[in-house]
């Protein structure tokens, strides 16, 4: 274990929060009010930790398992860890949780009136990842995104006090689109985890086999499949974009950044000629800023 790994192992809270710098989108950008930044970082800490549990990416040393009351013998069992994490989450709402990231979340929950449902959805998504490795239809994938992605947008709206039924509908479209885009960027990485988020019915339609996804570069059929799913994501982003125009001030800029990030990622995938297998196509900062401007102006 390197000195840096040892330091992270000794401070699992900091180890998780530091990952915010590597995310596709700014988690709590400087231009937001401090109270919002604090609350969004608290929500991020929860979301990042539950994903790390589900992916087996916890900090070395087993500190998270100990904080959740899981024995060393069971610390490798992700479902056991998720069960313990859910039990600790529920304490956020009625007592005192044991994990420092959940203790950090408690003031946010009390101040903004957050409910357990979106947090439980993210835990359920990670449970599903342990047992469901393939999705037969696009509707099946959308149902997964309802758990794995949409709660995040709903939490952002709740933290900023801007939730309405219509904004939630628009936010769900944006979040599902962003999840699909991430899946397209990470086809090779996901396959390495024995997960395929490309719907099986679409793979059959485009004559793509799983072994085609394990190649170093994508063939014509795999590229056509990725292009098809990218267009679906683009349509969802366009459907949800009016969310940006429904709010004002700094929140408008934050939400424009989310939409622009998705659009820029789709452009990067297209620029790679839909060959996502060598590695995730990532947009540059200039492209991202250009997309932010287009989104703020209400253009397509």
Specify whether the CB–CB gap between 296 and 270 falls below 8 A: no
Judge residue 285's burial from the number of C-beta atoms within 10 Å of its C-beta, 0-12 exposed, 13-18 middle, 19 or more buried: exposed
Q: What is the pLDDT of residue 30?
A: 82
User: Which of 93, 81, 92 is CA-nearest to residue 126?
Assistant: 81
Q: What is the pLDDT of residue 24?
A: 62
Q: What is the mean pLDDT of residues 100-113?
A: 96
> What are the tens digits of pLDDT across the range 45-67?
999 999 999 999 998 889 999 99
Does this model's pTM top 0.85? My answer is: yes
Q: What is the pLDDT of residue 139?
A: 98
Q: What is the pLDDT of residue 16?
A: 76
- DSSP structure string for the chain: --HHHHHHHH-HHHHHHGGGGGSSS-SS-TTS-HHHHHHHHHHHHHHHHHHHHHHT-PPTTSHHHHHTT--GGGTT-HHHHHHHHHHHHHHHHHS--SSHHHHHHHHHHHHHT--HHHHHHHHHHHHHHHH--B-SSHHHHHHHHHHHTHHHHHHHHHHTT---HHHHHHHHHHHHHHHHHHHHHTHHHHHHTT-B-S-HHHHHHTT--HHHHTSSS--HHHHHHHHHHHHHHHHHHHHHTHHHHTS-HHHHHHHHHHHHHHHHHHHHHHHTTT--TTS-----HHHHHHHHHHHHTT--
d(CA 271, CA 281) in angstroms, rounded, equals 8
Q: What is the pLDDT of residue 23?
A: 64
d(CA 64, CA 262) in angstroms, rounded, equals 32
Q: What is the pLDDT of residue 3?
A: 39
Q: What is the pLDDT of residue 119?
A: 98
- Whether residue 201 is predicted with pLDDT greater than 80 in this model: the reply is yes
Q: What percent of the chain has pLDDT over 70?
A: 93
- Whether residue 298 is predicted with pLDDT greater than 70 in this model: the reply is yes
What pLDDT band is residue 18 in, cutting at 50, 70 and 90? Answer: confident
Mean pLDDT of all residues in the chain?
A: 92
- Whether residue 299 is predicted with pLDDT greater than 60 in this model: the reply is no
What pLDDT band is residue 7 in, cutting at 50, 70 and 90? Answer: very low
- Whether residue 259 is predicted with pLDDT greater than 60 in this model: the reply is yes
> What are the tens digits of pLDDT across the range 60-89?
889 999 999 999 999 999 999 999 999 999
Other CB atoms within a 10 A radius of the CB of residue 219 amount to: 13
């Amino acid at each position: 274990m390197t000195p840096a790994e040892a330091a992270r192992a000794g401070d699992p809270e900091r180890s998780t929060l530091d990952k915010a710098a590597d995310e596709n989108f700014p988690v709590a950008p400087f231009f937001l009010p401090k109270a919002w930044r604090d609350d969004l970082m608290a929500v991020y800490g929860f979301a990042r930790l539950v994903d790390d549990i589900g992916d087996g990416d916890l900090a070395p040393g087993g500190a998270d398992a100990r904080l959740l009351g899981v024995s060393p013998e069971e610390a490798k069992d992700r479902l056991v860890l998720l069960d313990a994490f859910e039990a600790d989450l529920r304490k956020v709402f009625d007592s005192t949780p044991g994990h420092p990231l959940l203790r950090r979340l408690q003031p946010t929950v009390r101040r903004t009136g957050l409910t357990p449902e979106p947090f439980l959805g993210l835990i359920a998504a990670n449970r599903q990842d342990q047992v469901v490795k393939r999705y037969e239809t696009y509707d099946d994938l959308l149902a997964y995104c309802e758990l794995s992605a949409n709660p995040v947008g709903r939490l952002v709206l709740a933290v900023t006090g801007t939730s309405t039924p219509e904004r939630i509908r628009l936010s769900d479209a944006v979040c599902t689109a962003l999840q699909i885009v991430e899946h397209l960027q990470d086809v090779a990485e996901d396959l390495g985890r024995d997960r395929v988020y490309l719907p099986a019915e679409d793979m059959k339609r485009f004559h793509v086999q799983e072994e085609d996804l394990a190649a170093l570069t994508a063939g014509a059929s795999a590229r056509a499949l990725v292009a098809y799913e990218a267009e679906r994501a683009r349509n969802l982003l366009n459907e949800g974009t009016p969310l940006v125009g429904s709010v004002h001030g700094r929140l408008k800029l934050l939400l424009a950044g989310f939409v622009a990030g998705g659009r820029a990622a789709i452009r990067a995938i297209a620029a790679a000629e839909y060959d996502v297998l060598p590695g995730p196509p990532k947009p540059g900062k200039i492209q991202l800023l250009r997309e932010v401007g287009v989104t703020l102006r209400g253009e397509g």
